């Protein structure tokens, strides 16, 4: 009597079913859910585009290049996630806010730990790159419009040349255009900086290759980054965008939300604002109140 060998996978569906079955002993239920769904969608993707071996090998070469591009100051995988829109999808899913709270946006790869401590009204421009002097001011409030005193505002921005300090080889790793501020007893903050400018995300690596191959531009609209925290409140990672920027509707990393767009008012004479800030014209001012919901328990 001949023995019958167990049926081997014959179709894409068979392989998918067999691969999904391999996770049946996964202890962590969330890991199991993620691996099942990832496997299912990866197989469906390959099937839908009829992915050839040569194409997938090119994809593997691309991902290898992304890995090789990463070092202490360059995170090409974050950039890939950002430019695919995946970072903003996870932002939307993770950071749903109650109406009235300030919206979050993409963190990006240029935050640095331990920025220099700054006093109310200090400048974050420690090494000038030119640009127009700007004052950004406002308050940090709770959901009832009550000021939050001593909230921390970690602020970072590209210089007027469009480069972050970590990209500026003349600084030898030193910091510039960043600082840690705190609100005063009435919840107010004041940051002196330069008017943010649009800049290109790093595009000398595999992500840049992908952008060029798909005829996409590499620009982010002008913005200043804020990471705001206060005990008892949900932390907030966000930007303020300049309303006149030409890339607001085509940000390469999909980070713009309408509620985060601000007007920078131009001051060309010695007006009231000049007196208030002790500034010499020309300069610009923008104001924005950040609203934090209470911490989740």
Minimum gap (Å) between residue 293 Cβ and ligand BEZ: 24
Nearest one of 196, 175, 294, 174 to 240, comparing CA atoms: 196
Q: In the complex, which residue's CB is closest to ligand BEZ?
A: 108
- Report the interface residues with ligand BEZ, using CB under 6 A: 79, 82, 106, 108-110, 201, 220, 253
Residue appearing with tokens 């829109």? 85
Nearest CB to ligand BEZ, comparing residues 125 and 207: 207
Nearest CB to ligand BEZ, comparing residues 141 and 211: 211
Nearest one of 71, 133, 142, 83 to 108, comparing CA atoms: 83
Residues in Cβ contact with 218 at an 8 Å cutoff, skipping those fewer than 6 apart:
200, 201, 203, 208, 211, 252
Nearest CB to ligand BEZ, comparing residues 79 and 197: 79
Spatial distance between the Cα atoms of 280 and 274, rounded to a whole number of angstroms? 6
CB 164 within 8 Å of CB 112: no
Minimum gap (Å) between residue 155 Cβ and ligand BEZ: 12
Nearest CB to ligand BEZ, comparing residues 90 and 280: 90
Nearest CB to ligand BEZ, comparing residues 134 and 201: 201
Minimum gap (Å) between residue 103 Cβ and ligand BEZ: 15
Nearest CB to ligand BEZ, comparing residues 82 and 154: 82
Minimum gap (Å) between residue 185 Cβ and ligand BEZ: 31
Minimum gap (Å) between residue 140 Cβ and ligand BEZ: 21
* Distance, first Cα to last Cα, the chain: 66
Nearest CB to ligand BEZ, comparing residues 65 and 218: 218
Nearest CB to ligand BEZ, comparing residues 226 and 288: 226
Minimum gap (Å) between residue 31 Cβ and ligand BEZ: 27
Minimum gap (Å) between residue 294 Cβ and ligand BEZ: 28
Minimum gap (Å) between residue 239 Cβ and ligand BEZ: 7
Spatial distance between the Cα atoms of 64 and 42, rounded to a whole number of angstroms? 18
């Amino acid at each position: 009597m001949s023995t019958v060998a167990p049926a081997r996978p014959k179709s894409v569906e068979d392989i998918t079913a067999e691969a999904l079955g391999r996770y049946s002993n996964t202890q962590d239920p969330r890991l199991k859910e993620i691996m099942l769904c990832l496997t299912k969608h990866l197989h469906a993707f390959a099937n839908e585009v009829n992915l050839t071996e040569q194409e997938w090998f090119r994809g593997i070469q691309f991902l290898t290049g992304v890995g090789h591009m990463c070092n202490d100051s360059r995170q090409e995988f974050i950039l890939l996630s950002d430019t695919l829109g995946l970072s903003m999808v996870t932002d939307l899913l993770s950071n749903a806010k109650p109406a009235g709270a300030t919206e979050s946006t993409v963190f990006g790869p240029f935050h640095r730990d331990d920025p220099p401590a700054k006093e109310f009204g200090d400048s974050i421009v420690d090494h000038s790159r030119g640009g127009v002097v700007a004052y950004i001011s406002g308050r940090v409030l709770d959901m009832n419009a009550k000021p939050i005193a001593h909230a921390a505002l970690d602020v970072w921005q590209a210089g007027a040349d469009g480069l972050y300090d970590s990209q500026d080889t003349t600084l030898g790793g030193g910091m510039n255009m960043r600082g840690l501020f705190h609100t005063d007893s009435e919840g107010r903050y004041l940051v002196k900086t330069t008017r943010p400018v649009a800049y290109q995300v790093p595009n000398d690596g595999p992500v840049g290759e992908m952008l060029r191959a798909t005829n996409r531009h590499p620009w982010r609209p002008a913005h200043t980054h804020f990471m705001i925290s206060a005990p008892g409140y949900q932390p907030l990672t966000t930007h303020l965008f300049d309303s006149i920027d030409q890339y607001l509707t085509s940000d390469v990393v999909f980070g713009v939300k309408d509620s985060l767009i601000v007007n920078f008012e131009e001051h060309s004479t010695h007006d009231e604002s000049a007196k208030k800030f002790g500034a010499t014209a020309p300069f610009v001012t923008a104001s924005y109140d950040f609203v934090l919901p209470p911490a989740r328990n």
